[in-house]
Structure 1
Amino acid sequence: MCLKIIINSTFYWIYYKKYSFSLIIFLSCLTIFQYRTDVFLTNKKVDYELSQAIKINLNLSTSTIDNSTYFKKCPKDISLFNHIPVRSNELINMISLVLQSQSLMYCPVPKVATKTLLNVILYIHVRDLINNLNNNWTNIDNAKAKIEKMININKFIGELRSHGVIIPKQEKPKSLSEFLYMYLNILQFGQINKNFPSRLINPWRLSFTFSFPYFRLQNLSSLSQIFTSSFTRTIFVRHPFERLASAYKERIATLSKDRIEPEPEYDAIRMQICYRRVLSKKNHPTSPSKESCRNIIPSFEDFVRYILTETDRPNGIARMNYHWQPYSTICQVCKFQYNFVGKYESFNEDFPQFLKHFNITNWNIEKRNGPSGLQKWDYQKYYTTLSDDLICQLIRLYNDDFRLFKYKVHDYIVNRTSLFQNCYFLKTS
């Protein structure tokens, strides 16, 4: 009997060892599938609710701070909105920030002062947290209060230190209240106090940005709320050609060894462009390799040819990297009809207006987070080497950005008498 038990046990143990790895893989795949299904269903739910909210709120009211009439150029037929690919809806669900307590929605457009603006929105949120704390969490629902009370101070302190914020041991906050007030100083002034100067932080790198239940569209009880006149739907835009040149300079024309923080995604894209460029050269003596492309910066023309690939196909634009994807697509401007539109070119006027609307004073407007310091000519010169054909394709790609926000092609394309004849079929004004 004992021998039989031992034999059976041995058999099951061998069987377990043989198939345990497969079982683990199966369970892992099942978990991933369940997660992706949940995300897919959440996006579908948001897309449906959003479409219903848009149909109900066609006659949108704009707030008193409206400074643009761009939405008058949007399609009047609601059915035209359905041509925007689903992936664009998923993207805006992911990147849009919503502060329900302040009736604020912000769609961040990469390369348009997003670090500075996100710092402000985080500041507003932390200010709300302090208000909730001072009122003993009575002004928010129990679920959100529970999450706010569980802030992991040690985790965030460690993260801030790893990003260059100096927090000496003797200055480490001992309570949630002290931590939140310290965080306000970091967001507003870039340091905990005047005695410990730090470098400006990149808010996109902070877990704090995504640790609370306020920041996503799907957390609104009803998406129709964002279309009310009390909601401030905010977007800041930039000349499409300057934004594209800026994205090239910082994301592609900067080697990994020269970056302040690692950008593996863009290093991979840079090397991919390099492979294509080397392969396209006839009679090249050697085959391209990962090592040979590691320190090669592709030309702006090579970059442009890369981003234009497949943009004429269905979902081609929707699949572009959002650092150079048209912001009319990223933020679906004709769906949301933003009622606070700021421009990068007039940031020094528009940004203080934004701060004033949310009762923020003493913000260091001169200390921008991440400005390149380049002038208009620095960006114009990138386009001097492009053919008329490539520029026409870029105009077609960014046509809605030009048209909706009154940007002019000739602000960045100069001394091209034949260009506008070749691109006569495009409307950019």
Structure 2
Amino acid sequence: ALWKFLKEQERRAQHVKATCQERFFPMVDLREWMHVPPRALLGAKDIIYDSANHLAFCPVYKAASTSWSITLLELGGYWRESLKKKNSLQLLLKQIFPRISNFAASSITSDCTRFMVVRHPFERLVSCYRDKFQDASKGYYYLHYGEKMVRRYRKFHDGLSQQQISLLEEQVRSKVKRGLPVVLPENPFATPLGPTFSEFVQYILDAHHDDEHWRTYEAHCSPCILPYDFILRFESLPEEGKLFLEYLNRTGDVRPRWDNPTQGVKTGQVACSYFKQLPLPYVHMLYEKYKSDFDLYEYSPDDYFRCAKDAKPLSTVPGRTRREEKRSS
């Protein structure tokens, strides 16, 4: 099983390299800039570099980033109950692992194992929406993003002035800030509370809006600058994660904590139910925005085109990769 896993990882890495060379630009020869890393890599500021274990991990948010960040802390012996009580995960990571710098980037390119976890781009977006924005469940995200989404894309009654809209907005904001229930049936900011999935999508389609939770893999992890040795798939993470730890010879050092994402209702079916709220042109625009991710990591958007609310009904199994579709055709 390990040999087969390693061969598949080699194939995935070669596919990314070939896609970068074909669609973007040639892979940089690491030897040319080992001591002076390119500015593009320094922009990948979220890469976690574990110098003790010679590991570099690009945490893709909503793709098991929390689980693998904790795994890195465990491998280094840092994830103890005493630390968990005193510090947040992000604070621990900043304290223990160095930020990307000229020194760290040189090491990342030379002598460490680089890995990342990817998932279907559309399923990742739905996961982000459900976790951060649906029903304004996370006050921080509502106040920093969700409120703007509602104000910009929700249709308000024509008779409302801008001053009245601002007062209605503040009525909801004050309750969200204090963590109070928002029951305001006459307030358009509360019916529904938080942005709809369609409003969320319209917001991220605007090129001016960027956040690590919906940033493309290509922009967030710089795979065409920094070649990754292991590209794990969220859809098969329980198996692939164990094999990756077996390759590192660290299976007994950590407690597997990534849940099987396909237990119960499949994530693709859940995502499709949200895409049914979108007109087909929105789905096509989303695909264009994330096309680099689809191409680099061999995912297919086709099932989600059929999920759109104005698409012709067709039996689908959302979430398949392009390779899986080719095998079934």
TM-score (norm: length of structure 2) = 0.70
Runs of 4+ aligned structure 1 residues displaced above 6 Å come to: 369-373, 416-420
Which string of whole-angstrom CA distances, capped at 9 and with x for unpartnered residues, describes residues 46-76 of structure 1?
Answer: xxxxxxxxxxxxxxxxx87535122211036
CA distance in 1, matches of 2:146, 2:283: 21
User: 1:404 offset after TM fit, Å?
Assistant: 0.8
CA distance in 2, matches of 1:269, 1:236: 26
- Are the counterparts in 2 of residues 233 and 338 from structure 1 also a CA contact under 8 Å? yes
* Structure 1 stretches lacking a partner, 5+ long: 1-62, 130-152, 164-201, 421-427
Secondary structure of the 1:414 match is helix
Secondary structure of the 1:407 match is coil
CA distance in 2, matches of 1:162, 1:325: 30
* Structure 2 stretches lacking a partner, 5+ long: 1-5, 29-37, 177-181, 183-192, 313-320, 323-329
CA distance in 1, matches of 2:64, 2:41: 23
Q: Does 1:203 align with 2:89?
A: yes
Identify the residue that residue 170 of structure 2 maps to in structure 1: 290
Identify the residue that residue 334 of structure 1 maps to in structure 2: 224
Q: Does 1:217 align with 2:100?
A: yes
| Change over 3 Å in CA distance of 1:216–1:96 after alignment to 2 | same
CA distance in 2, matches of 1:397, 1:273: 18
- Are the counterparts in 2 of residues 245 and 382 from structure 1 also a CA contact under 8 Å? yes
Secondary structure of the 1:412 match is helix
Identify the residue that residue 205 of structure 2 maps to in structure 1: 308
* AA of the residue aligned to 1:345: E
User: 1:341 offset after TM fit, Å?
Assistant: 0.3
| Change over 3 Å in CA distance of 1:264–1:90 after alignment to 2 | farther
- State the number of aligned residues: 272
Identify the residue that residue 271 of structure 1 maps to in structure 2: 147
User: 1:236 offset after TM fit, Å?
Assistant: 0.6
CA distance in 1, matches of 2:113, 2:299: 23
TM-score (norm: length of structure 1) = 0.55
* AA of the residue aligned to 1:203: L
User: 1:209 offset after TM fit, Å?
Assistant: 1.8
Identify the residue that residue 133 of structure 2 maps to in structure 1: 252
* 148, 156, 159: which one aligns with 1:281: 156
Which string of whole-angstrom CA distances, capped at 9 and with x for unpartnered residues, describes residues 336-356 of structure 1?
Answer: 121100011111221112212
* 219, 226, 229: which one aligns with 2:108: 226
| Structure showing greater Rg | 1
| Change over 3 Å in CA distance of 1:90–1:336 after alignment to 2 | closer
Identify the residue that residue 44 of structure 2 maps to in structure 1: 92
CA distance in 1, matches of 2:146, 2:43: 23
CA distance in 1, matches of 2:148, 2:39: 23
| Change over 3 Å in CA distance of 1:377–1:369 after alignment to 2 | closer
| Change over 3 Å in CA distance of 1:273–1:247 after alignment to 2 | same
- Are the counterparts in 2 of residues 104 and 233 from structure 1 also a CA contact under 8 Å? yes
| Change over 3 Å in CA distance of 1:265–1:398 after alignment to 2 | same
| Change over 3 Å in CA distance of 1:416–1:371 after alignment to 2 | closer
| Paired-residue identity, % | 23
